[in-house]
Structure 1
Amino acid sequence: MIGRTKSDKHLSLRFWFLAAFIVFVFLIGGASRADSIYLLVLRPVAILVCGAAIIALPKGALGSYKTLAWLGGAIIALPLLQLIPLPPGLAHLLPGHGLIADIDKAAGIDAWRCITMVPSATRNALFSLSVPLAAFLLGISIPREEQQRILPIVLILGLVSALIGLLQAVGTSSSPLYFHELSNDGSAIGLFVNRNHHAYFLAGLFVMIGTLAAVYARTPQAQSLFGWIALVVAIAMIPFILITGSRSGLAVALVGILAGGAAYRLGTRSIRVAVKKRSGMKSYLAYVGAAVAACVLVMLSIMFSRAMSIERLAAPGQLDDLRFSLWMPTLEAARSYFPFGSGMGSFVEVYQIQEAHDMLGLSYINHAHNDWLEMLMTGGLLGGAVLAVIVVAWAMVSAKVWLGRGANSTDDIYARLGSTVLLLFAIGSFSDYPLRTPSIMVLAVMAALWMNVPFRLPAKSPLGSEK
């Protein structure tokens, strides 16, 4: 619903609390490393927010979010189950735990052991969930209209991150604009540590721009205005993707651009039907002009050696990328520890057990760079089952809002946005680990809330009430 309502004029205190929390997380939560100094502040604050949100949770707030609550509970239960101590000797019988059994026998240790191979890493994985849990509890405590009002705040954060990335690209690797240690210094990483995570976030902005334009296109005149604004802003965003130097980010951005255009077209289709057909030549010329402008920006970025994504993509030896060589060992480890998994967050230590001799060096492998495989390795059968349920739930809602002919309410428009944002992160997870970053986790929670469409309610027109 776009028309001004009481909730539009007076946003609740809970809304501003959620907005402040999201801004706080994005400012300091751009790193996924367990030793990030910012986590000393972020996680205690998130735990306090969880407690306050539970105490102040409105009665019946969970009623419309039972599916999300069950899925969130399953995600939290996974590391908890892996941390349950088992009697002496029982853990030694678990698949893949032979090394621990040999060490205990040699050292004469008769201790209780957990399912996880690395309890400290699994505890860290458990505590990392406090941040998205806080966002979820705050999110379900406000009306759906206020959840949707979070979008401009996220969009502004994205533009700020893009601008910081630009300043990083034209500056030096020692610039104070690199806020985290052990980051991709010298690259345009914005508020993040990892160039890929920044690129995935920027890719989501294309869909956010298209969604916001569709929501505010209430009349034929407004459709033209906001359509052009969205197009100009989207084209201007392209160089920011290119300078990140992220190859996978470039691919994800292409999906985001197409999805952003589709979201705008579907969101305004009822308006276009009501408007008489105008000169088709003008529309075609507009599209051609936009395409030419985008190509010019790409060419200028390449000419000024700022299109690092394309340069890295065109560099020789792409098939020899290290991350591809990690996938088979990760699959082998997943088989070795099946069905219980090696323990959430245990990839580093477990991979080192079976790391090939020719891979040894002064650096270490921090992740499988394919979070789908890493989840199977560390989460085992239960982790794979949770992933499968999430994918099925996502697919069912996505089919409803993208393919349903009558699905064009404001809720449906935002549901398409949430569906696409999660899809972009899912694609990025095939070559990286974006959903381990606190700020990305919070955005994923908001996307899931946007997707939670109340199908049983009468559809609301994005044009407001019609007579």
Structure 2
Amino acid sequence: MRRADASSRRPRRRIPGDASRHHSGPRAASSRKHALIMRQLSVPAYLMACLLLGGASAAGYMANLTLQLAAILVLYIALFWRRRGPISPPSRQLLVLAALFVGLFLIQIVPLPPALWTSLPGREPILRGFELLGVPAPWLPISLNAQHTLASLFWMLPALAVLLGITLLGGYKASYLAWTILAVAAVSVAVGGIQVAGGENSPWYLYQITNRGVAVGFFSNANHLATMLLAAIPLLTAVVLSERGRGKNTARSSGIAVIGAAVFLVIALGLILNRSLAGWGLALPVLGASLLLFLSHRRKLPKWALGGAAIAAVGGVALVLTAPLGNNLTTDEARTSSTSRYASFGRTLSATPEYLPTGSGIGTFVDVYRSREDPSQITRFYMNHAHSDLLEVLLETGLFGAALLLLFLIWWTRRVFAIWHDAESDSFTKAATIVSATVMAHSLVDYPLRTVAISAIFAMSIALMAEPRAHSRRSKAKTESDVRHLSAD
């Protein structure tokens, strides 16, 4: 008898497709299902954390640090655990813009040789300082304060995490995101009601520097709660339309309508208790756009509808700025106050040309503004932001930031027209256009994007605009892979 070859005694390898693979089928399917659930809940859960903890820009450092550390984890998962499905062209364009945005931060903190940075506008005082000390000029970056620029980049990590979590990871359902914002908005109104009832010394105010006497919820600034409440209105409309479209049951439709009306009344009460002039001014155009969203669910809107909504938005803002409602931008009192928007806008605009074309550096507004204040008017209060994100971006980033902002506005405008003229665009995608427009409009006269909570909402909205959901995809959901299900409502 021949001795058996040693290789014949080795255990057989399992090869793809043999019978042994089927034993792990249920376990693999269960694993895929759990991974799908984790993906769908990851971004909504992180968004909720941003809304609850990221309500301040100049306060809440530990809460914001926690969100930044968590953002690093979300970004890691989004970059290295990407979905297998293709990324839409609008998403790729948005990711390129995000990369350019991050690149702008990095360019501003790269040290430059003295011959280069001393030739930049606005650097003469720095150079004179080294000359008075008798010290050779060192290598310095474009930013007047590189530490603040780097800190500002860390501050934007949560928004980037939400953006990449949607566009790359695909870990979300639009309805989950909407319900997250609606839930936090409703709780914020309840907290705001307790704050108002307790008076200016109420212990329910979460931040020491805040707008006491009005409802601020989980924010430190009343205007920023107003921004979130306004964003909740079109999202509420989208949720109602989505839930009504799931069935023809009359009782179910009636119940959804009642719940939607109740949530809307809560939001309206919040805006009243909040007393934000910008919130009141933007309420009318937001309501009008939400009505267009509701009507577009069953019929095609006329071409002038979007133009009419834009005119209403301009009219709402103009009403607040011109009406005698006590705004601190156009009133006579604002012109004589050193802490008004009138003073802030004027000084920011006058300082901007001195730092063109590179800007003073992201995060350097306070340093630049203090250098231009009248010493006789300095009090214990100071301007932490320009109260206009547009003006602050122009001061800190110069022509490069303005060009990047223009590119984004072109992308955003094209997406708005594409979404609203596509009969198959779903309600959440259209609601996202209203939300993003609301945040940008408010940013003209305030700094909502400087808070983690509002920047996360804005990132969510533009990500939804980049990842459009068509009604027709729902009927195909059962025939697509598990990964493709991630992009289904």
Same topology, TM > 0.5: yes
In the alignment, structure 1 residue 230 sits paired with structure 2 residue 260: yes
Q: Tell me how far apart the structure 2 counterparts of residues 340 and 316 of structure 1 sit (CA, whole Å).
A: 33
Please report how far the alpha carbon of residue 132 of structure 1 lies from its aligned counterpart in structure 2 after TM superposition.
1.2
The within-5 A match list for 1:98-113 is 98-109=124-135, 110-113=137-140
Q: Find the counterpart in structure 2 of residue 243 from structure 1.
A: 273
Contact 1:14/1:141 (8 A) holds in 2:
no
User: What amino acid is the match of 2:428?
Assistant: Y
TM-score (norm 2): 0.78
Change (3 A) 1:235 1:338: same
User: Which is greater in Rg?
Assistant: 2
Q: Find the counterpart in structure 2 of residue 131 from structure 1.
A: 158
In the alignment, structure 1 residue 327 sits paired with structure 2 residue 345: yes
Contact 2:122/2:354 (8 A) holds in 1:
yes
Q: Find the counterpart in structure 2 of residue 171 from structure 1.
A: 198
Q: Find the counterpart in structure 1 of residue 7 from structure 2.
A: none
Q: Tell me how far apart the structure 2 counterparts of residues 257 and 462 of structure 1 sit (CA, whole Å).
A: 28
Q: Tell me how far apart the structure 2 counterparts of residues 8 and 208 of structure 1 sit (CA, whole Å).
A: 27
Please report how far the alpha carbon of residue 325 of structure 1 lies from its aligned counterpart in structure 2 after TM superposition.
2.3
Q: Find the counterpart in structure 1 of residue 292 from structure 2.
A: 262
Task: Give the 3-state SS of the residue equivalent to 1:345 in structure 2.
Answer: coil
Name stretches of at least 5 consecutive residues in structure 2 with no aligned partner. Answer: 1-29, 301-319, 335-339, 477-489
Q: Find the counterpart in structure 2 of residue 295 from structure 1.
A: none
Contact 1:155/1:205 (8 A) holds in 2:
yes
User: What amino acid is the match of 2:461?
Assistant: A
Please report how far the alpha carbon of residue 88 of structure 1 lies from its aligned counterpart in structure 2 after TM superposition.
2.4
Change (3 A) 1:13 1:256: same
Q: Find the counterpart in structure 1 of residue 429 from structure 2.
A: 415
User: What amino acid is the match of 1:50?
Assistant: L
Q: Find the counterpart in structure 2 of residue 209 from structure 1.
A: 236
Please report how far the alpha carbon of residue 433 of structure 1 lies from its aligned counterpart in structure 2 after TM superposition.
0.4
Contact 2:348/2:391 (8 A) holds in 1:
yes
Q: Find the counterpart in structure 1 of residue 83 from structure 2.
A: 58
The within-5 A match list for 1:448-467 is 448-454=462-468, 459-461=470-472
Q: Find the counterpart in structure 2 of residue 305 from structure 1.
A: none
User: What amino acid is the match of 1:128?
Assistant: W
Please report how far the alpha carbon of residue 216 of structure 1 lies from its aligned counterpart in structure 2 after TM superposition.
2.1
Please report how far the alpha carbon of residue 41 of structure 1 lies from its aligned counterpart in structure 2 after TM superposition.
2.0
The within-5 A match list for 1:184-203 is 184-203=211-230
Spell out, residue by residue over 1:325-374, the C-alpha distance to the aligned partner (whole angstroms, 9 max, x if none). 22122112111101100101110011111123454222111111111111
Change (3 A) 1:232 1:8: farther
Taking only aligned residues, the RMSD between alpha carbons, in angstroms, comes to 2.9
Q: Find the counterpart in structure 2 of residue 80 from structure 1.
A: 106
Contact 1:247/1:313 (8 A) holds in 2:
no
In the alignment, structure 1 residue 425 sits paired with structure 2 residue 439: yes
User: What amino acid is the match of 2:284?
Assistant: L
Q: Tell me how far apart the structure 2 counterparts of residues 142 and 42 of structure 1 sit (CA, whole Å).
A: 19
Q: Find the counterpart in structure 1 of residue 455 from structure 2.
A: 441
In the alignment, structure 1 residue 348 sits paired with structure 2 residue 362: no
Change (3 A) 1:29 1:344: same
Please report how far the alpha carbon of residue 62 of structure 1 lies from its aligned counterpart in structure 2 after TM superposition.
4.6
TM-score (norm 1): 0.81
Please report how far the alpha carbon of residue 269 of structure 1 lies from its aligned counterpart in structure 2 after TM superposition.
3.0
